[in-house]
Amino acid sequence: MSKITRSSTLYDALKAGKKVAKVLESQNMGCASCSGSKYETVEWGATCHGVDPDDLLKKINAA
């Protein structure tokens, strides 16, 4: 899996690995079923859901 960054879209993060959807779901982020994931960055999505972007990125990149 390529490294996901703050500026990566949530869609690209989801395409990077099957476990990423579970990481997002564990943070109450329903990005896998949201059409906005194609355009929202990881940073923006995390911020909108009250999740720390750096913590989320660590979990995504470890998945």
Tens-place pLDDT, residues 1-23: 679 999 999 999 999 888 999 99
Predicted local confidence at residue 1, as pLDDT: 60
The CATH class of the 10-62 domain is mainly alpha
Tens digit of pLDDT for each residue in 21-48? 999 999 989 888 888 888 999 999 999 9
| Sequence-ordered list of residues with C-beta below 8 angstroms from that of 40, at least 6 positions apart, any chain | 9, 10, 31, 48
The structural domains of the chain, with segments of one domain joined by +, span 10-62
Q: For residues 57 and 42, give the distance between their C-alpha atoms in angstroms, rounded to a whole number.
A: 8
What pTM was computed for the model?
Answer: 0.85
State which H helix or E strand residue 18 sits in: none
CA 45 centroid distance within chain: 7
- 21: Cβ contacts below 8 Å, ≥ 6 apart: 14, 31, 32
